[in-house]
Amino acid sequence: MNNYYIKRTGRAVLTLWVTVTLTFGLIRAIPGGPLEMLRARLVRQGVDPSRIDAIIQSRQQESQPIYVEYYEYMSSLLSGNLGESFYFREPVSDIIIDALPWTVFVMVTATIILFAIAVVWGALIAYKEGSTFDTASSGLSILLSSVPFYVLGILFVVVFSYKFGVFPARYRTSPGISPELSFLFIQDALYHAALPIASVVITQVGLQTLAMRGNSIQVLGEDFVRVARLRGLSDRRIATRYVGRNAILPMYTGFLTLIGFNLGGSVILEEIFTYTGIGYYMFEALINRDYPLMMGIFLVITTALVLSVYIADLTYGLIDPRVKSGDSNEAY
């Protein structure tokens, strides 16, 4: 049992290390760089060439052997130093600390909501398998899943923000509202997050609903459900402890990994809604060739994914007794 946790932890750490190293190598392999970008911009702005050279020179670091760079990169990473953003002229860690909670808030909320809907909806469809409700719901699920979230997001901005003006088109909060634990702040934050959350929920709920439907139909056909009915258990208990619980089990890992994936998927979403989370900054970093920021956010996203799989592995035994001993049972 302990062996299992040690193995999972080891694997998570190893994955992170590989990602960090790959990132390090990739960034160096990309042609061009922030200085080229800066030079091009300065040239376009018509700055005097000698001044440009001076500016570039002042930012240029002495090049060192690659293993020294790698060592410094790793040690500063471990001390939480992700370098400084070229474009925003701020430490990358400060930007991430400011932006990450918002992205996590939007994506975790959206994923929880969409799973809650999917579990209930899918189970209901399964109970009514073959009915018109089933056909209509399954059709709707497939239709919704085939709409990309960014298309729906743009549609939302156009319709709800510009045409009717019922929802804000940009930013995390209204100007002048400071982040504090007040009703006004929470209300304003939810108001601004509503459209991004809605576009994620609506476009992702369909697939999960179909998954839940399939699982539930399978569990409903199990002998133990029939025996439970004969034993006289209440319909409610059978629906929750027997059908529900056993149908949700395979979705639990999917739920946690989807949170991880959605954090990565925030890049386009936050750009559409000009929602300044890590996705938004990632987009800005890409456009401006801001490598330190790009790397920092990339690391955060991979860490989130590795972490969510890790958490799924560690906690799966709590919801499924069969994995408690965990010899060869791996959730993902």
Q: Which residues bind another protein (CB under 8 A)?
A: 222-224, 226-234, 237, 241-242, 245-246, 249, 319-322
- Give whichever of 53 and 129 is closer to another protein, judged by the CB atom: 129
Give the contacts of 149 (CB within 8 A, at least 6 positions apart): 199, 200, 203, 204, 265, 268, 269
| CB 188, min distance to another protein, A | 42
| Cα–Cα distance for residue pair 152/137, rounded to 1 Å | 19
Give the contacts of 200 (CB within 8 A, at least 6 positions apart): 106, 107, 110, 111, 114, 149, 262, 265, 269
DSSP, collapsed to helix, strand or coil, labels residue 91 as strand
- Give whichever of 193 and 331 is closer to another protein, judged by the CB atom: 331
77: closest CA among 292, 308, 304, 301?
292
Quick check: 289 and 33 in contact, CB under 8 A?
A: yes
DSSP, collapsed to helix, strand or coil, labels residue 84 as strand
| CB 219, min distance to another protein, A | 10
| CB 254, min distance to another protein, A | 18
Quick check: 240 and 149 in contact, CB under 8 A?
A: no
| CB 222, min distance to another protein, A | 6
- Give whichever of 64 and 240 is closer to another protein, judged by the CB atom: 240
- Give whichever of 105 and 127 is closer to another protein, judged by the CB atom: 127
| Cα–Cα distance for residue pair 132/119, rounded to 1 Å | 19
- Give whichever of 59 and 229 is closer to another protein, judged by the CB atom: 229
| CB 223, min distance to another protein, A | 4
Give the contacts of 28 (CB within 8 A, at least 6 positions apart): 66
| CB 218, min distance to another protein, A | 12
- Give whichever of 19 and 329 is closer to another protein, judged by the CB atom: 329
| Cα–Cα distance for residue pair 299/191, rounded to 1 Å | 29
